[in-house]
Structure 1
Amino acid sequence: MTTATHPTPVLVPDEPSVGSRRSTSIVVVLAFAGIVVSLMQSLIIPIVPELPKLIGASASDTTWAITATLLAGAIATPTVGRLGDMFGKRRMLLVSIVLLIAGSVVGALATSLVPLIIGRALQGLAAGVIPLGISIMRDELPPEKLGGATAMMSASLGVGGALGLPAAALIADQLNWHVLFWVAAALGAVALALVLIIVPESPLRTGGRFDIVGALGLSAALAALLLAVSKGADWGWGSGLTIGLFIGAAVVLVLWGWWELRTSSPLVDLRVSSRPALLLTNGASMIFGFALFAMSLVLPQLLQAPAATGYGLGQSMLVVGLVMAPSGLVMMAVAPLSARITRSAGPKVALMLGAVIVAAGYGFNVVFMDATWQLVVASSIIGAGVGLAYGAMPSLVMGAVPRNETAAANSLNTLMRSIGTSVSSAVAGLVLAQMTVSVGTAQIPSQDAFRIVLGIAAAAALVALTIAAFLPRHGTAKNA
């Protein structure tokens, strides 16, 4: 039996350490790239109800335009992180952005379902941009700027989605839906040019060989798991296909873990990942991914539900976007605060404070959901808590791994958030589908269903608080 080894980092000659102005430029460019990528998550939400008519496909088939992005992102994130550690983080960042641009162009030219799914899958392959950006920051920025920069980069995951929704709704309402993808391609091209001009290549390499077996095994397990979670409601949770995918995912994960513990250059070093600080941080990340997405599922439906129900607000998708947008701005605004709390009290405190605020936001929303301004307040409170928590997570991750494994570790952390998001979608969808009221010939979720989902999200935040309580108080990034 062999055990995982950590090859000595190989220093590649690069330009001198950057000055303060160049450091700021790097942070801005990487955060912009992160926001552009996270925009992809909400890009087609405004046109989902219209997709069957727009591309001549059934409603169940058009959901693959969302599922494809989810699956591609989950598969690409850990793989791209490991490749970044081995062959250059900037190089893999550029590859990811090129894939995003290609996917956007394919989507813009699509007139039927298959090309649209291909385009969305290519966009999903760019999901590794945020963990790669955090890792580049660790390698390039002075210690005094690292906390605030990584907090902002981490928060961009939520910012892009929140700000993209109103922009996408406006474009879809006023222009042809293909323009959504052309805009995405243009933003991707800007991000690509800025990275080429501003961001240097990280000088650290892990060396070693790429774990192809591990990458294929993890990809197969994630594909089976996420397909079962995201399509279980359509196929039936008790159907042979859904149960088979869950069992298959479990079996493949066990075999994958056996392989990773025995290969000399694993895709994911399970011995490092099992360290309490990293294990607990990834667990909290998954729970926060669950909690964040619950807001994205409930608030739009509450706002758009007919006023005749007595609790619906009868608003347009554009208003939905405008209500959700402040949460993204709040996430970005609290990122520096998260960094200050991390420096003074440790990332554990920032994470716990974020969990408390998220739970409070959902608790507020359970009680107050009768007016648009109440939903703005609730989403802003939740956004503040998520911003604090997401800002602390990179410090916790980097405090548990050596510098030459930063990209892989941050990618795994991002993957945990994505899994939490997927589970949140499935749980909320199940509750909202089971508890409905009749409005004419349509069935829509009842007010109690919304309250239950919000209550589950609040409970999830408290679970994250409990997990965070067991973390070490201070985390210091390892340098070797």
Structure 2
Amino acid sequence: MQASPHPPIPPALLMTIGALTFVDFLQNGMVTFAASPIMGEIGASPEEYTTVAVIYACVAVVMIALQGWLVHHLGLRRYLLASLGAAAAGAVVCALSRSEAGFLLGRVLMAMGCAAMLTSSRLTVNLIPPGPARFQGIKALATGLCTGTALGPLLASVAVDQTGWHVMFWLVAALSLLAMIPVALAMPDHGGVTVAGQARLAPIAALGLGSFLLLHALQRSYYDFFSDRHLLVLYAAAGLAALAFFVRSETRHGAPLLKLGGMKEVRFLSGLALFMFCYLMLGANGYLVPLMLQRALGLSWANTGVFFAMGLGAGVLTFAVMSQLLARWPSPRKFFVAGFTALAAFAVLMSRLTPSADPWTDVLPALACYGVFIMIVMPATAMNTFTGLTHDPAVFAHAQQVKNMLAQVGQALGIMVATVGQQWFTSEHYNVLMAGIAQGNANFEAAKAQLSGVYAAAADPARAQQMAMAHISQWLDQQSVLLANLDHFRVLAVLALAGVVVSVTQRVFR
């Protein structure tokens, strides 16, 4: 009897691969989706909340850079157990926090644990021998990623609507502890592609500080550009200089943490740009869309989460179909064109919404198009970015780390662009609308008189006029937010159409 060429894959190994991506994308999706209620309860302004996101990204970038060194010194199993433990501890701190400082501490701990989960999951796939069996690992990774992305908004909305946002973090803590079980059962002590390198303090500090200064300068550009623009330029220049020092140090050192010199490939760099755009979309739209549906269209948090999850669920179904087509038609161009076309459709549909929009016929189709974009473009990019680097396992591992470092920056940048951009658009529209609300304006006087008449049935005339003005002010706020949201999606539609053109004409991914 002929022996099987490869032993069967341990179920615990597949569970580990899926659990790592599931926990990471679930917690990121929930925190992004529930940004508004979290801000309200911890007393943080939008710019303060984005500062937390910036610090999370900077800590995550440093931890991803140190991953190979940590795995080499701790062993793969102990490293993953420590990562899950840090994620659980950070989630507990967030759940117990009642202030911005406590929430920041929890997110820093979570960054230390969750930062390298996606990289670890992808490199764990390589523990499976090459061949058809390895595709089972890829499917486990994609399943965890897709389900975590889709369930994040749903679970966050249920938590906020039923109990409170703290429950989200208790859930993450519990899932992190549960994920330790398959890790302890299946993971080896040492990974096969880990390269020790040298963790030198100066380059690592430059990486963290440079990331923070650059993102902080971009974050503060709206608030301080006219008053402190020279200081902001100094921050940005210092950040770029620090990052350049890190890159120079890594490319010229004999034992670098990351073999950056081996990644000078057009396909890889183009893939990084695509990944950066996708993660920016995840951050920006993950923050903005729930806010728009709840504040501008009046949906409850529970309904917002359900529709957002259903939209992303359409993307999961799309990926299931795409995975069947890849074997016969592997060329990625058509997938990129389809993905950016779906993004353009999402942006156009969202830019046409009104306060009376129907969630089923107007909102859900748009969210489904967004889910299709995410679940087509990201997998297609992942399957074509690293093909030229597979000859060297160490370079492949380091390329995965670099990609996920940029992913952290991209999501933080997306949240920052959404929050700062919306504040600017909202203030501009509010000023325009307020200019039309003045004594003597016929429409204003008619609306005020009509509302005063309604409220006069339950209050004295003076109080009725105050209530009418409060109602008009609330209406102005809602209209300003909605118009700002629509501006965001008009800009996004232009970017998506540009993506379609580039996808058709590019010659890198064929």
Alignment of 1:390 with 2:374, yes or no, is no
The 1-side partners of 2:219 and 2:138 are apart by: 30
1:315 equivalent among 296, 299, 310: 299
2:90 equivalent among 89, 93, 103: 103
Give the 5 Å matches for 1:462-477.
462-464=497-499, 466=502, 469-473=506-510
Q: Is the 1:107–1:178 contact (alpha carbons within 8 Å) kept by the matching residues of 2?
A: yes
The residue type equivalent to 2:108 in the other structure is A
Question: Which position in structure 1 is the counterpart of 2:351?
Answer: 366
The residue type equivalent to 1:302 in the other structure is M
1:327 equivalent among 289, 293, 311: 311
Q: Is the 1:81–1:132 contact (alpha carbons within 8 Å) kept by the matching residues of 2?
A: no
Question: Which position in structure 1 is the counterpart of 2:412?
Answer: 422
Q: Cα offset for 1:173?
A: 3.0
TM-score, with normalisation over the residues of structure 1?
Answer: 0.82
Which segment drifts farther, 175-184 or 154-163?
A: 154-163
The 1-side partners of 2:316 and 2:134 are apart by: 16
Question: Gapped runs of 5+ residues in structure 2?
Answer: 431-471
Counterparts in 2 of 1:457 and 1:249: CA distance versus 1, 3 Å: same
1:256 equivalent among 246, 254, 274: 246
Alignment of 1:440 with 2:473, yes or no, is yes
Q: Is the 1:338–1:392 contact (alpha carbons within 8 Å) kept by the matching residues of 2?
A: no
Question: Which position in structure 1 is the counterpart of 2:111?
Answer: 124
Q: Is the 2:69–2:197 contact (alpha carbons within 8 Å) kept by the matching residues of 1?
A: no
The residue type equivalent to 2:252 in the other structure is R
Q: Cα offset for 1:202?
A: 6.1
> The residue matched to 2:115 in structure 1 has which SS?
helix
Question: Which position in structure 2 is the counterpart of 1:228?
Answer: 217
> The residue matched to 1:400 in structure 2 has which SS?
helix
Counterparts in 2 of 1:316 and 1:121: CA distance versus 1, 3 Å: same
Q: Cα offset for 1:118?
A: 0.7
The residue type equivalent to 1:196 in the other structure is A
CA-based RMSD? 3.3
Counterparts in 2 of 1:432 and 1:17: CA distance versus 1, 3 Å: farther
The 2-side partners of 1:471 and 1:237 are apart by: 41
Counterparts in 2 of 1:368 and 1:115: CA distance versus 1, 3 Å: closer
Which segment drifts farther, 45-54 or 75-84?
A: 45-54
1:300 equivalent among 272, 287, 290: 290
Give the 5 Å matches for 1:58-97.
61=48, 64-80=51-67, 83-84=70-71, 89-97=76-84
Question: Which position in structure 2 is the counterpart of 1:453?
Answer: 488
Which segment drifts farther, 56-65 or 345-354?
A: 56-65
The residue type equivalent to 1:282 in the other structure is L
Alignment of 1:192 with 2:227, yes or no, is no
Q: Cα offset for 1:429?
A: 3.2
Counterparts in 2 of 1:45 and 1:388: CA distance versus 1, 3 Å: closer
Counterparts in 2 of 1:343 and 1:149: CA distance versus 1, 3 Å: farther
Counterparts in 2 of 1:323 and 1:233: CA distance versus 1, 3 Å: farther
Alignment of 1:380 with 2:392, yes or no, is no
Give the 5 Å matches for 1:34-183.
34-44=21-31, 48-51=35-38, 54-55=41-42, 61=48, 64-80=51-67, 83-84=70-71, 89-125=76-112, 126-140=114-128, 142-147=130-135, 149-150=137-138, 153=141, 156-157=144-145, 159-183=147-171
Counterparts in 2 of 1:334 and 1:352: CA distance versus 1, 3 Å: same
> The residue matched to 2:126 in structure 1 has which SS?
helix
* Deviations 1:412-452 (CA, angstroms, capped at 9, x unpaired): 11232333333333333344223334561674545443233
Q: Is the 2:154–2:306 contact (alpha carbons within 8 Å) kept by the matching residues of 1?
A: yes
The residue type equivalent to 1:138 in the other structure is N
> The residue matched to 2:127 in structure 1 has which SS?
helix
The 2-side partners of 1:141 and 1:457 are apart by: 42
Matched residues, percent identical? 20
Q: Cα offset for 1:50?
A: 4.8
The 2-side partners of 1:406 and 1:149 are apart by: 17
Which segment drifts farther, 412-421 or 41-50?
A: 41-50
Q: Is the 2:158–2:302 contact (alpha carbons within 8 Å) kept by the matching residues of 1?
A: yes
TM-score, with normalisation over the residues of structure 2?
Answer: 0.77
1:215 equivalent among 204, 209, 217: 204
Question: Gapped runs of 5+ residues in structure 1?
Answer: 1-15, 306-311, 474-480
Q: Is the 2:58–2:211 contact (alpha carbons within 8 Å) kept by the matching residues of 1?
A: yes
The residue type equivalent to 2:244 in the other structure is V
Q: Is the 2:76–2:188 contact (alpha carbons within 8 Å) kept by the matching residues of 1?
A: no
Q: Cα offset for 1:276?
A: 1.0
* Deviations 1:93-144 (CA, angstroms, capped at 9, x unpaired): 3332121011112223334432321111111221210121011112325432
